Amino acid sequence: MVILLDIDGVLVTTPSWRKVELLADGFMKFNEKAASNLAHILKQTNASIVLTTTHRITYSVDEWIVLLKTRGIHSPTISKINNVESIAEMADRATEISIWVAKKGFTERFVIIDDDLSINGLPPEIKKRCVLTKPMIGLDTEATENALAILMHSQKSDK
């Protein structure tokens, strides 16, 4: 199982008019409830994380592993959606996700957790695996339940 994960608006929910609190590692502090909810999903599903966030270019995978563990988020594997190394090279989120799904196919059980409205442009068969969060709320209880339902439903249908 895989969680295609954005960070801003999912785990970081600081309003744009406020200064973002940075932790000792130099990265933004996560919304504690959102981080706890993601940890819960991971504990229930043992899913891997595929980072879709634009922040993915700032840190190596090894740094992401430490950064997430420091915030209580443990995943068996963490990877990036692609090898893009600059924002200028990035396509919009929906395009990047569509390319990832085309490479992996629907044999991979996945959920997309994001606040980027471009994911509304995904094809219906991919969009039904999306959980759209509210940017200043993040991964709340409802979004967590929706993500678990998507992962568990796809698990049952894959058997």
Mean pLDDT for the stretch of residues 87-115: 92
Q: What is the pLDDT of residues 146-158, one digit of tens each?
A: 999 999 885 444 4
Residue type, 150: I
Q: What is the pLDDT of residues 108-117, one digit of tens each?
A: 799 999 999 9
Distance in angstroms (rounded) separating the CA atoms of residues 118 and 102? 18
**Angle, in degrees to the nearest 10, between helices 32-45 and 141-158:** 20
Structural contact between residues 127 and 116, judged by C-beta atoms closer than 8 angstroms: no
Q: What is the DSSP letter of 134?
A: B
Phi, psi for 26 (deg, rounded to 5)? 90, -5
| Separation in Å, CA 100 to CA 39, 46, 69, 106 | 24, 20, 25, 10
Pick the more confident residue, 159 or 82. 82
Pick the more confident residue, 44 or 16. 44
Distance in angstroms (rounded) separating the CA atoms of residues 148 and 70? 23
pTM of structure? 0.93
pLDDT beyond 60 at 67: yes
